[in-house]
Each structure stands twice: as C-alpha cells, then as structure tokens.
Amino acid sequence: MYESLQQEAFDLDVLVEERYLQPRLKGLYGDNVIWINKRIQSPVEKACILAEELGHHHTTAGDILNQTTIANVKQEKLARRWAWEKLVTPEKLIEAYKEGCRTRFEIAEMLHVTEIFLEESLQFYREKYGTEIQVDQRYTLYLEPLAVYENFK
C-alpha cells in the first residue's frame, strides 16, 4: 500500500521524503513535498500517514500547524476524511467481511491500515451515515456493531 501511495504522489508531482522529524510529528505536507517521519518503522503506519498527507495535498491550503483555530481543525479533518475514504471504503469493508475477516485486527490487516486508522474511519462513517450503509443494493454494512448482511431480493 505504501508503495502504491508513493507512486500516486509521484504521478501528482508530489515528492515524498522520509526524514527525522520531531517525535510527535508523523508527517508533514507543504509545497508539493510530503515528509514522513523516519522514526516510523511500520510500512502500514507509513501508508496511513502518507494517505493523510496526500489528503492535505488535495484538500487543504496554507499553514495549518496551529490546531487551536477552528479553520485549521476543519482542514485537518478534511485531509483525514480524504485518507479514510481512500483506504477504508464501505466496499473494502464488505470485501474484508466476505474474505472471512471478523475482528477489527483482521480487517485492518487485510486493508493494510492500522487498527487506530480503521477505528477512526469507522467513526467518520458513523458520523456521516449513521449506523448503516447500503452498498450496491446488495449489502447492508452495519457500523455498530460492525457486520455485513447480504440483501436477498
């Protein structure tokens, strides 16, 4: 996943560099450059961070490092939303369920995301859709508790 996101960044003329950043910073985006903290060893976590930074490329503008302003918090949420919709779609959740994944750990592993990223994406979808999502008229994805039902008609 990390490599495919790097390719996507390359195709967008966005440079991705791994550098030592302050320990609290996992990634940064600015002027068509994404920096991923070199301290992060997990390619899965790097992919989640890179997806969010690509989200900043697509959705935000200006310096939003100061997260005490509402406008900056909203822009941060936009970038995260882009990442969640990129890596954890309702269709991918259904596919994971069809492949036999039942726990959040199994789903996160199949989707190549961290469990925290998965949980944040599920929370986003609950805020957006409520407790269930209809997908392709064939499936109902329940978000709490997490389950998939095939609609027979």
Cα(113)–Cα(107) distance, integer angstroms: 9
- Mapped onto helix, strand or coil, the DSSP state of residue 135 is strand
The interaxial angle of helices 70-87 and 115-129, nearest 10 deg, is 110
Domains and CATH numbers, the chain: 1-87 (1.10.10.2910), 89-153 (no CATH)
Cα(8)–Cα(110) distance, integer angstroms: 20
Longest CA pairwise span in the chain (Å) = 55
Cα(147)–Cα(97) distance, integer angstroms: 8
- Predicted pLDDT of residue 151: 84
- Predicted pLDDT of residue 153: 63
pLDDT tens for 41-90 read 999 999 999 999 999 999 876 665 656 677 666 878 899 999 999 999 99
The closest of 132, 102, 114 to 51, measured between CA atoms, is: 114
CB-CB contact of 87 with 121 (8 Å): yes
- Residue 108's φ and ψ, nearest 5 degrees, are -60, -40
pLDDT tens for 76-128 read 889 999 999 999 999 999 999 999 999 999 999 999 999 999 999 999 999 99
